[in-house]
Amino acid sequence: MLKTLPWRVMAFGCLVGILSGLLAVAIELVQGQICEYNQATEHEDCTTYSLFPFLLIQVGKTFNDYGVAITALATVAIGFIHTHSQIVH
């Protein structure tokens, strides 16, 4: 004979499923624009992206713009950690 799940477990599962669906729809509806100036036409060309591609492009641009600073900070942090670990041992 099959066991039935308690109603609270079933209600929680349904609630999680509904909230996940609503989140997926909301993410697709939220959009971002990336605009670049076109010198040939002398106006901005804008492309609209869904949320995830927009965020990936923006993160990539940020890493590209600040790559040297990120590398410098990481180098200093690694040097500090390396020096500190040698003092402890």
What pLDDT does residue 88 have?
56
Render pLDDT for 21-61 as a digit per residue (tens, 0 to 9): 888 777 667 777 778 888 888 888 888 777 777 778 888 88
Contacts of 44 (CB under 8 A, 6+ apart): 35, 36, 37, 38
Q: Give the chain's mean pLDDT.
A: 82
Residues 43, 49, 51, CA angle at the centre, nearest 5°? 135
Question: How does residue 73 score in pLDDT terms, banded at 50, 70 and 90?
Answer: very high
For the cut 70, the answer to whether the pLDDT of residue 1 exceeds it is no
Residue 75 has pLDDT above 60, yes or no: yes
Parallel/antiparallel/unpaired status of strands 31-38 and 43-50: antiparallel
